[in-house]
Amino acid sequence: MNSRLTVCRLTAFFAVFVCIGAAMAGQQTDKTAKRLALAKARLHNLLVAQPADPAPWREVLDDFLALASSPLADRALFLAGRTAEYQAERSPEMRAKAALLYQRLADRLPDSRLADDALFRLAELTLRHGDRRAAARLFTKLVVLFPDGDMAPHARRLLEQLRRTAQTEKRPFPPKQKVAVTDIRHGSTAYYSRVVIETAGPVRYTGDSLPPRGDRPQRLYLDLTPARLPPRLAGATPIGDGVLARVRAAQHDRDTVRVVLDVERLSDYAINTLQDPDRIVIDVWGKRPAAASKGERCATPPSLAEQLGHTGARRIIIDPGHGGRDPGAINRYGVQEKDITLRLAKRLAAYLERQQGYEVHLTRTCDTYIPLEERTAIANRLRGDIFVSLHVNAAASPRLAGIETYYLSLAETDDEKRAAAAENAAAEGTLSDIEAILRDLMLNSKITESARLATIVQRHLVHTLAERYPAVQDLGVKKAPFIVLIGAKMPAVLAEIGFLSNPVEARRLTDDQYLQAVATAIAQGVTAYAGTTAEQLGLAPPRRQRPPGAGG
Ligand SMILES: [Zn+2]
């Protein structure tokens, strides 16, 4: 009896206490809201009056900052940022202040609905003051972290604009000694041709297309300067693939090497530079007959309702590398990485779904271009449990062969840097830009889990393939800053399933049996990984689990 009474009293005591607490908190919030409204009104008055005196602006800024630890911190920080930003043109100090406040809001209150707005304001502020690279990093971060936020479409649009500007613009280069051209080569497929100019170091270039004149065809030309052309590379090399007729190279004057591409049919072209080794890559797209494009339309991504429909199964996101205007690696026979990765992805998806009962999504299901950061965004949006990006290697030496699996981190060896540079080529910016984004987002990445997933997938790949194919080389688990893995909120790996530049592996990569073996190996690796995670986390194995081989 007594004890029950005590419980009652205690309950009553706590109820009163909770009520008082709630009332106090309510009053507090009320008071905060009033102070915020007051500061907003003052800001409004300033915007109308536009006083030149910085003092009243600072006062309003301080009013907002006084609420930076309140329950309305996100709104206070955002409005403080806005106040400082209004003064950014007049005062570098206020500009820095605005940037700092937006950064703080985005970093410390990532769940606030204003976090993406803050990041967007920060990116735009950065862009307005001329740092396009830093702005591109911030827009990328926004797209990856807040793929469904209302600012994401604007960030995507601005990123695309920045990318286009960077591609068409000549990059400033310090004058240097003449750089030797070391190789000029080409590869092609139907409607597509790539010419690569390899140089002994970075070299400045200008390029343009010239319309057909008289009996001279349409041409693309590149002037490299200061550069020199060894005699063995001078002259014309016929191509005749339906896109390009030939490529010609000559020492145009003392300091300039001119490379001319005589065009047969051209619809578009792009010029990019890559490092390790330094090279200029000219991608040329021909005209595709209108009838051929029929039936190639891409399936639309699943609706949110569809996505939310399957919550029981564990979700795997498969990313077939490259696509559309980004072919990835190409070998001398015109085999393109983007085609191999898509074929493999479809096999892997089928195996994971039918044999192992996973829910699987592909970042692309046809030959379409998807920016690298968008792929991670898709995985985050779909709340994938595991992200696997599929790629094919290429190297300058045809002897290099083997299989390697990467997870996201800073590159340490030259090989790791080379792989990252090649796979990141479709994005704007240099490796150091990407490393900067990575440092920024490192805390959000599941690096330990990704390393474990990479280890298990690599082990399965090597064992399964070595049983069926001679001389399968294990290049091991590696780490590198791949943009496609940055910002993924789930364990994420990138598998390089062979070298297109190696004759033996190139043959395998175009063989469906090999791709099926690779798909099986990766699927089993994923299952092995998911099994141990499930045990560790005390979670059930995937729904609809069936023994291997029982599927239809
Ligand atoms: Zn690739």
Measured in whole angstroms, the distance separating CA 270 from the mean position of its chain's CA atoms is 19
**Measured in angstroms, how far is the CA atom of residue 321 from the centroid of ligand 1?**
5
Question: Do 369 and 503 sit in the same domain of this protein?
Answer: yes
ipTM over 0.90: yes
**Measured in angstroms, how far is the CA atom of residue 112 from the centroid of ligand 1?**
36
Boundary residue ending a domain (271, 287, 303): 287
Establish if 295 belongs to a structural domain: no
**Measured in angstroms, how far is the CA atom of residue 256 from the centroid of ligand 1?**
33
Establish if 547 belongs to a structural domain: no
Boundary residue ending a domain (141, 168, 195): 168
Q: How far apart, in Å, do the first and last CA atoms of the chain sit? A: 66
pLDDT tens digits for the chain (552 residues)?
Answer: 444 444 444 444 444 444 455 555 667 778 888 999 999 888 888 887 888 898 999 999 999 999 999 989 999 999 999 999 988 888 888 999 999 999 999 988 988 999 999 999 999 999 888 788 888 888 888 888 888 888 888 888 888 888 777 766 544 455 568 899 998 987 765 566 778 898 988 888 887 778 788 878 888 889 998 899 999 899 998 888 788 889 999 999 989 999 999 988 777 676 766 666 777 878 777 764 433 333 334 544 443 333 333 323 389 999 999 999 889 998 888 889 999 999 999 999 999 998 888 899 999 999 998 888 788 888 888 888 999 999 999 888 889 999 999 988 766 677 777 777 777 766 655 556 656 655 555 555 578 888 889 999 999 999 999 999 998 999 999 887 777 787 788 889 999 999 999 999 999 999 999 999 999 999 999 988 887 654 444 433 444 444 443 333
Structural domains counted in the chain: 3
Residue 518: closest CA among 395, 377, 404: 404
Establish if 333 belongs to a structural domain: yes
Question: Do 240 and 376 sit in the same domain of this protein?
Answer: no
Establish if 174 belongs to a structural domain: no
The CATH code of the domain that includes 472 is: 3.40.630.40
Strand partners, 210: 219
Question: Do 116 and 161 sit in the same domain of this protein?
Answer: yes
Establish if 13 belongs to a structural domain: no
Domain that holds residue 126: 28-168
**Measured in angstroms, how far is the CA atom of residue 391 from the centroid of ligand 1?**
4
Question: Do 236 and 332 sit in the same domain of this protein?
Answer: no
Coil, strand or helix: which one is 351?
helix
Question: Do 457 and 485 sit in the same domain of this protein?
Answer: yes
**Measured in angstroms, how far is the CA atom of residue 494 from the centroid of ligand 1?**
9
Boundary residue ending a domain (231, 254, 287): 287
Q: What is the pLDDT of residue 274?
A: 67
Question: Do 450 and 481 sit in the same domain of this protein?
Answer: yes
Question: Do 529 and 401 sit in the same domain of this protein?
Answer: yes
Coil, strand or helix: which one is 551?
coil
Question: Do 255 and 161 sit in the same domain of this protein?
Answer: no
**Measured in angstroms, how far is the CA atom of residue 354 from the centroid of ligand 1?**
27
Strand partners, 246: 238, 262
Q: What is the pLDDT of residue 543?
A: 43
**Measured in angstroms, how far is the CA atom of residue 194 from the centroid of ligand 1?**
16
**Measured in angstroms, how far is the CA atom of residue 157 from the centroid of ligand 1?**
24
Question: Do 266 and 353 sit in the same domain of this protein?
Answer: no
Establish if 101 belongs to a structural domain: yes
**Measured in angstroms, how far is the CA atom of residue 474 from the centroid of ligand 1?**
18
Establish if 323 belongs to a structural domain: yes
Question: Do 391 and 526 sit in the same domain of this protein?
Answer: yes
Question: Do 354 and 261 sit in the same domain of this protein?
Answer: no
The CATH code of the domain that includes 34 is: 1.25.40.10
Cβ contacts of residue 114 below 8 Å, gap of 6+?
74, 75, 77, 78, 105
The CATH code of the domain that includes 242 is: 2.60.40.3500
Q: What distance in Å separates the CA atoms of residue 273 and residue 203, rounded to the nearest whole number?
A: 9
Establish if 103 belongs to a structural domain: yes
Q: What is the pLDDT of residue 307?
A: 37
**How do 235-238 and 403-408 pair as beta strands?**
unpaired
Question: Do 213 and 328 sit in the same domain of this protein?
Answer: no
DSSP string of 351-370?
HHHHTT--EEEES-SSS---
- How buried is 213 (Cβ within 10 angstroms: 0-12 exposed, 13-18 middle, 19+ buried)? exposed
**DSSP secondary structure code for residue 48 in this structure:** H
